[in-house]
Amino acid sequence: MGLNALVYGTYEKRLARTLKRTGVAPRHIGVILDGNRRWARSTGSSTSQGHQKGADKITEVLEWSQDAGVEVVTLWMLSTDNLARDPEELAPLLEIIATTVERLAQDGRWRLRHVGDVSLLPTETARRLSAAVDISAGAPGLQVNVAVGYGGRHEIAEAVRSFLRDGVDQGHSLEEVAESFAVEHIAEHLYTKGQPDPDLVIRTSGEQRLGGFLLWQSAHSEFYFCEAYWPDFRHIDFLRALRDYSQRERRLGR
């Protein structure tokens, strides 16, 4: 073992012990898996190899999250904007995503929920995601939201439409439904309904923006931006995010 690896390992263990002593862990972490394509360019790999390398990182991060006491992890794997990519990139990316979600379901540790608009996805991709969710329903571990075909603005618009449809289906006029509309009704119709909002949102690759991720749910979230590309995201990067979170004073708008 080299000196750098030894120092790194010692620091990692000390940081993990410190976090366990604080007992402060986010219930829900949102992760923007950014930088696969840039990682591929930096290593001379193909775009598909970059996406696959990023997919291979997911199980590790879920294990780290479960060890830290996290209850829910939301992984943004494909945005609504990504669906406009060149078909030569999108088709293999969708295959990698579907295969990865199936692998997570077959692992048996994670309860999956699809977060996104299935109507925007190819029929076969939507079918495979749905089947994986069904398979994982009784898993004992983390709740894992796989955000595929997801956009925050799209989700909010869908939530409003769903609320309006429900009111009209119950025999109310559109004017009556609009008059009764309240902020709480949005949360009741989001893809993540019934779950705690994310306490911490992590974005890799050095970009410092949400890009439409969990726009409604992240109103009081803490954000952590990491320079590493997603395939290079390390346990120590994860622990640093948790340490940063534990040191913040969360006033939740009050």
Verify whether residue 81 is a known catalytic residue: no
Inter-helix orientation angle 3-22/235-246, to 10°: 30
The catalytic residue among 34, 197, 199, 232 is 34
Helix (H) or strand (E) holding 28: strand 28-32
Inter-helix orientation angle 235-246/47-68, to 10°: 50
Verify whether residue 82 is a known catalytic residue: yes
User: Is residue 204 a contact partner of residue 226, using CB atoms and an 8 Å limit?
Assistant: yes
The catalytic residue among 36, 82, 197, 232 is 82
Using alpha carbons, select from 226, 219, 212 the residue that is nearest to residue 253: 219
User: Is residue 113 a contact partner of residue 146, using CB atoms and an 8 Å limit?
Assistant: yes
Handedness of CA 57, 60, 66, 67 (dihedral sign): negative
As to burial, measured by CB atoms within 10 angstroms (0-12 exposed, 13-18 middle, 19+ buried), residue 107 is middle
Q: Which residues, at least 6 apart from 86, have a Cβ–Cβ distance to it below 8 Å?
A: none
Which residues are known to be catalytic? 34, 82
